[in-house]
Amino acid sequence: MVSKVLICDDSNMARKQMARALPDHWPVEVTFAKHGQEAIELIKAHEFEVMFLDLTMPVMDGYETLEEIRKQDLPIMVLVVSGDIQPEAQERVKKLGAIDFIKKPVDQARITAVLTEYGIIGEAPNE
């Protein structure tokens, strides 16, 4: 069963890095969005299981995006992935409904751990 994942970041490089950091054993279909507004439109049109969301973006930033998702009651799990790692940034996003905060630069081990912790993926198959 393939999981549909949305990666929302204004940086092309960051989107690619995020995609590369997803666990190898996780069957996914990845879609990219450049900012919050694009992400909201995509979420309303398709069903996504998880979104990896950046905070500093033009047009609609991460905070505004989280607020929109809450306002419109959109069914999606949001993991914030950001370089803005201040204590208050982390607090704010959790209050706005993000399930967790992942610091940039991302690494696969951390992403796998978080996804496993929230039951989004099962344990890795033994090789």
Partner 1 sequence: MNEQITLSEDERDCYQEITNVAMGKAADRLARLLGVYVVLPIPNVNIIEINEFKMTLKSLEGNATVSAVCQGFIGAGIAGEALLIFNDASFTDIAKLLDYPGNLDKHEELEMLMDVANVLNGACIQGIGGQLDIDFSQSHPVVLGQHCSISDLLNDKQNAWQRTMAIEINYTIEDHNINCDLLLLFTEDSVLHMNRLISFLLED
Using CB under 8 A, pick the residue from 87, 119, 126, 127 that binds partner 1. 87
The answer to the question of residue 86 lying near partner 1 (CB under 8 A) is yes
The greatest distance separating any two alpha carbons of the chain, rounded to the nearest whole angstrom, comes to: 44
Bond from prior residue into 75 cis (ω within 30 degrees of 0): no
Contacts with partner 1 in 7-26 (CB under 8 A)?
10-14, 16-17
| 122 binds partner 1 per the rule CB under 8 A | no
Residue 58 CB: number of other CB atoms within 10 A?
10
Burial 6-22 (b: 16+ CB within 10 A, else e): bbbbbeeebbebbeebb
Q: Give the binding range for partner 1 (CB under 8 A) out of 43-51, 54-62, 93-101, 108-116.
A: 54-62
Nearer to partner 1, 85 or 124 (CB): 85
Q: Under the rule (CB under 8 A), what is the footprint of partner 1? A: 10-14, 16-17, 56-58, 82-89, 103-105
